[in-house]
Amino acid sequence: MPSPALTLVPDADAPSSTASVDLAARIWALPTRTLLDDLGPIADARVLLVEDVLGGAVDLTPGAYDLVHARFQLSRFGRPAEQLAALRSLVAPGGVLLVEEPDLRTWTFEPHAPATTHLIGRLAQAFSAAGGDLDAGRRLPSRLRAAGLEPRVRTHAIGLETGHPYLRLPLDLATTLAGPLADVLGHDGLDHLRRSATTELLEPRRRGTTFTLVQAWARVER
């Protein structure tokens, strides 16, 4: 059996499943689809998407899948070595492990938005306090190499024009993680920070750049 670190039922302290949904907006559908198309069709492929699996018919037999695609799992749950080992164990010989995680370094706003930038830092702290790593993409290739794999890597950061709904992602995550944030900032402090960030993001000239989506994949040989 694979390691229990493969989180099919979220840990109680982990960022909620809604946080994963917020991160995994439709904006990332095209980069993911393009990569999957470039990997080429696999006849009768057995595919597992580990994005927000809360139970159900998931085969945990070692080597059960030709492609295991894990999105934002290390950022939510941490324990990268254990999780990658568990995910790798589900890949059949010759199959592919694909992992997608965020790298926060490009997550910026124009003009500069100090309150929103501060909120992003606090969100990263909330993920870290719960055992996750909102910046997991930065170390993803080295994590896969440490697991004995030879990853290939693509990165994507998307420019957001005025009015783009994904500009609001820090506010959406702050709503999802209001409890942990209030534990650190206090309810008044969190309310003030959210109001300030909202004011910044509603400015008519507001533009931004997403975090970088790091896609790392490797063929698994036994």
222 pLDDT above the threshold of 70: yes
Predicted pLDDT at 64: 94
Nearest residue to 133 (alpha-carbon basis) of 210, 191, 81: 81
Mean pLDDT of 78-89: 94
34 pLDDT above the threshold of 60: yes
Contacts of 17 (CB under 8 A, 6+ apart): 10, 52, 54
Lowest mean per-residue pLDDT among 10-24, 25-39, 99-113, 150-164? 10-24
Q: In what order do the strands lie in the sheet with 159-160?
A: 108-110, 207-209, 159-160
Predicted pLDDT at 23: 77
Q: How many CB atoms lie within 10 A of CB 153?
A: 13
d(CA 213, CA 19): 16
* pLDDT, tens digit, 9 for 90 and up, residues 91-131: 999 999 999 999 999 999 999 999 999 999 999 999 999 99
Contacts of 77 (CB under 8 A, 6+ apart): 5, 7, 10, 11, 14, 83, 131, 132
d(CA 15, CA 28): 20
Assign residue 161 a region (left: φ > 0; alpha: ψ between -120 and 50; beta: otherwise).
Answer: beta
CATH of 17-219, one of 2.60.120, 1.10.287, 1.10.10, 3.40.50: 3.40.50
* pLDDT, tens digit, 9 for 90 and up, residues 2-22: 333 444 434 545 565 556 556
Query: Which one has a higher pLDDT value, 42 or 207?
Result: 207
Predicted pLDDT at 16: 56
